[in-house]
Amino acid sequence: MAGMRLFLVLAVLGNVLLAYLLVFGQQGVFTYLDTKHRRDEMAARLERVENRSLEISREIRLLKTDQAFLERTIRQQTHFLAPREVLYLLPGASGRTAETTGDAAHEE
């Protein structure tokens, strides 16, 4: 009877130890949940990067093939004016002036 009791106590202690390791161990539930959370964040980041890459690929294709898109993009990024185009600068509208951008409104 004493041997059976000792076996039962050791089995219960072993189960308690295994339950503790299952929850708090190096490969336990909390570690699993943390890893799952990081994986979800990385998957979302990967999706954003893939979407941005697709947008850039589309823009590159348009820049290579669409002359109007190329002209519009150059004008937006460099603030160039087309011939016979007038640029109106309103005070306080964006905080930028012709002096700060290096642009000058001119007509041909």
For 64-83, write each residue's pLDDT tens digit: 999 999 988 988 888 788 88
d(C-alpha 20, C-alpha 27), whole Å: 11
Query: Would you say residue 90 has pLDDT above 70?
Result: yes
Cα–Cα distance for residue pair 55/48, rounded to 1 Å: 11
Q: How confident is the model at residue 93 (pLDDT cuts 50, 70, 90)?
A: low
The average pLDDT across 29-58 equals 95
